[in-house]
Structure 1
Amino acid sequence: MNTAPVVPEQTRFRWFILFGVWLIYFSFGVAIASMAPMIAPISVDLGAGYTLMGGILGAWPLAYIVAAIPCGILLDKFGVRSMLLVATLIMAASLFARSFADTPMQMMLAVALFGLGGPLISVGAPKTIAHLFDGTQRATAMGIYVTGPYLGGIFALGLTNSVALPLADGDWRGVMLIYAGLVLTAGVIWFAITCHPEFDKQGSGAEQGKKFNLAAFRDILHLPEVRLILAMSIGIFFINHALNNWLPELLRDRGFTPVEAGLWAAIPSAMGVLGVLAIPRLATPERRLAIMGGLFCMSFLASLLLQSNASAVLASGLVLQGLARGSMMTIAILILMETPNIPPERLGLAGGMFFTSAEIGGVLGPFSFGLLSDLSAGFVLPLMSISLISLGLLLVLFQLRKSQA
């Protein structure tokens, strides 16, 4: 009798915690996409060409790789309550530092700072959701929180040139300060949620799972399926990060105004939200690899369509790329989590390894796109690199199917 009213009360508060996690992930997406709509003025102001700008845009994934394992240890030791708050402070500090950067090196360091907090969110968010929800509620909660970075990207791409830049009197540095304030607001809301007594009743402050163990790396990497999935993650993030950062500039090169380029660049993010809510649900274990193959084919076709100057063809490419972009990563993680011989208590470590290897592609994607743009004085070669990576992913998937068989 006494426990009956408590369960729904706890259940309701779980959704407030989910909202706090989603808001931080939304801010994460805003920060990632914040510079993409303003590459032209930023590069002129800093005196940086496309190759150097590609290096700047890829600085945070490089820092992410270095910080992923230490951040996992900190999450185990101090919990998500404090570590997600620290993540918001690091993100805000990165955006704040960008507004004062006067040289390419200063900007690169400011962007790299963001990567030190990224793993706290990538690992801390699913850890929180997995602890609070189970069964169908977990699937629903995962689907909701994964939309955060996509909607944050849509927000930044669609509103930077049309709303934020006018508010900042046309100064990109002011836009960075505006977004820093938005991230801090998300941190304050998270802090308020975690201060509520119900947060501890949910067990959200408790530490779960085994502590970090270097020896476990060898056992997981020994599995051929895992090595193929990690290779796949590099290609997926190469495509995602390259287009996330360079798509607005690619559209400007096609003759779009900055505002139009930002709005059109938001199309893949919008389609990504729809895709990530629908496609992974269809990817049951028996047809998961087939659906992943279809997504890689969509990415390949999109890279060809984006070569066109015709608006209708471009729009088709953006839609296909958006549908593929988010679902590729989500299904790859599902394949990893269901790989035989990975102990359930080591799934967190396996997920951390996935993001660590994936961010190698996160570094190479933006840098290669900028370098190839300089070499070709346009975006033909960069888009061809996306085509080749997509074909390479199909080959890796074929090997994965043989390995599983």
Structure 2
Amino acid sequence: MREDVPLRSYLLVALGGFAYCCLTFVWFSLPAFLAPVSDALGLSGTEAGVLVGAIPLTYVPLSLASGLVVDRIGPFRAIGAGTVLFGIAQILRGIAQGFPSMLALTVLLGVGATAITFGLPKLVSELFPAERVGTLSTVYLLGSYAGTAAAYGIGRPVLGPALGGWRPLFVASGVAVLAFALCWVAVSRAFSAPRYGDDEPPSSVRRDLRRVFAHRELRLLVVVGSAYLFVTHGLQGWLPAVLESRGIAPAVAAAVASGFVLARVAGTLTVPPLSDALGRRRAPVVGCGVLAAVGAAGLLAADAGVPAASLAVAACGLGIGGVAPLIRALPTEMEGIGPRLTATAVGLVFAVGEVGGFLGPLSVGVARDLTGGFGPGVAGLAVAGAVMALAGLRLSDPAR
């Protein structure tokens, strides 16, 4: 196997990470400006909620199909096309006049988002040997975290007022995305580097689907991914309210909740490189599941105050952040999947997993309505973390 990876491969993955940063900035610009957007378009609470959840729900029916397309056209064209699509959608969202048009454009943005989500794992699987895919997957995930943070931390308080409101910001950010898309096309056309994996032509869609659905290890990874998204969306959607219900002041609860993001970054930076260095996948996935379960369970016992809640949030964030790159990297190493079917495999994980992403926050809210508290809902998140660990326990370590 070729061990020398040229510098330009690293630079291209970094550029792909910036594509993810652009995506999450435009994705979360709507939630960041939800109040003024709702006022301008006359949205009801239900309509606003539908808009916020529209992109994750788009992944459920489209993920598998998007993965199949990415595996056939390649990551370079997929990322370029996806970037153009969500850039145009963001510009048009800036001039939308009502709920139907805003919903349609947000769904269009979600379609472009799938090309980035599945194109980047495909890109890394082609440019790097399997034993380094986990570490390199952290690069584009850090880009996604940066874009999300920028939408809330810079877009809403700084760029929005400077540009004159949410509409000019949506248009300007969409134009910036299209400018980046041109840069991506120029760089990727001039790019040449060693590729990893097989070069056999794509087989039939039916054969690829049969191979993916029948793969035991991948089915276990689907369980891991579903539990990961269940905990991630369930906790990040309700964490400040959960902390306040444990007697923590709102301002302090917001600060502790921000620690969840920092802990996810720490997990993303540490777990995959350690997993790559040790050549182990099962133990890191199990460990991340245990951390998520213990952290969520710790929130149930956080009446002791801020230190206990902070430790619980940190444990859960480390587990969630650590497993996120591994979910995207593991298919590359699976016999019968490999780089050729990486995007399809990751697409399957998200097609099923985003159902968990939708049910996570929903279950916490329903449990609160039925019981008057967050205990049962948070306990469900802890159970999901345990499920992640149990599924990971049955995974196999790759042969080196």
TM-score by length of 2: 0.78
Alpha carbons 1:79, 1:207 under 8 Å: kept: no
Deviates more, 1:41-50 or 1:272-281: 41-50
Distance 1:140 1:116 in 2: 27
Deviations 1:141-175 (A, max 9, x none): 33322311112222222223321222233x23333
Give the 5 Å matches for 1:250-289.
266-283=258-275, 284-285=280-281, 287-289=283-285
Alpha carbons 1:303, 1:317 under 8 Å: kept: yes
Work out the number of aligned pairs and report it: 387
Which residue pairs with 1:231 in the alignment? 223
Distance 1:69 1:35 in 2: 26
**1:143 pairs with one of 133, 138, 144:** 138
Gaps of 5+ in 1: 1-6
Which residue pairs with 2:290 in the alignment? 294
Which residue pairs with 1:180 in the alignment? 174
Compared CA separation, residues 272 and 45, structure 1 to 2 (3 A): same
Give the 5 Å matches for 1:197-236.
199-200=191-192, 210-211=202-203, 213-223=205-215, 225-236=217-228
Distance 1:31 1:298 in 2: 33
Deviations 1:207-234 (A, max 9, x none): 7763452234344434555434323322
Distance 2:362 2:94 in 1: 22
Compared CA separation, residues 18 and 216, structure 1 to 2 (3 A): closer
Please state how far the C-alpha of 1:314 moved relative to its aligned partner: 5.8
Deviations 1:53-101 (A, max 9, x none): 3322221122223333333343344333332111111111222233233
Q: Does 1:359 align with 2:354?
A: yes
Matching residue's letter, 1:238: F
**2:188 pairs with one of 190, 194, 201:** 194
What SS does structure 2 have at the residue aligned with 1:101?
coil
Give the 5 Å matches for 1:5-404.
11-134=6-129, 138-169=133-164, 171-196=165-190, 199-200=191-192, 210-211=202-203, 213-223=205-215, 225-243=217-235, 266-283=258-275, 284-285=280-281, 287-301=283-297, 304=300, 315-316=310-311, 318-333=313-328, 342-344=336-338, 346-365=341-360, 375=369, 380-381=373-374, 384-395=376-387, 397-398=389-390, 401=393
Matching residue's letter, 2:227: G
Compared CA separation, residues 293 and 230, structure 1 to 2 (3 A): same
What SS does structure 2 have at the residue aligned with 1:361?
helix
Please state how far the C-alpha of 1:41 moved relative to its aligned partner: 3.3
Distance 1:87 1:167 in 2: 28
What SS does structure 2 have at the residue aligned with 1:322?
helix
Distance 2:244 2:161 in 1: 19
Distance 1:194 1:223 in 2: 32
Distance 1:132 1:19 in 2: 12
Matching residue's letter, 1:191: V
Alpha carbons 1:50, 1:371 under 8 Å: kept: no
What SS does structure 2 have at the residue aligned with 1:214?
helix
What SS does structure 2 have at the residue aligned with 1:100?
coil
Distance 1:129 1:346 in 2: 13
Distance 2:169 2:32 in 1: 11
Distance 2:211 2:56 in 1: 26
Distance 1:165 1:152 in 2: 15
Distance 1:53 1:371 in 2: 18
Distance 1:74 1:350 in 2: 12
Please state how far the C-alpha of 1:369 moved relative to its aligned partner: 6.4
Please state how far the C-alpha of 1:298 moved relative to its aligned partner: 4.2
Distance 1:256 1:165 in 2: 25
Distance 1:145 1:388 in 2: 30
Alpha carbons 1:151, 1:273 under 8 Å: kept: no
Matching residue's letter, 1:328: V
Matching residue's letter, 1:66: P
Distance 2:366 2:322 in 1: 27
Matching residue's letter, 2:293: C
Matching residue's letter, 2:155: T
Deviations 1:34-67 (A, max 9, x none): 2333333334444445444332222112222333
Please state how far the C-alpha of 1:137 moved relative to its aligned partner: 5.4
Please state how far the C-alpha of 1:291 moved relative to its aligned partner: 0.4
Compared CA separation, residues 315 and 326, structure 1 to 2 (3 A): same
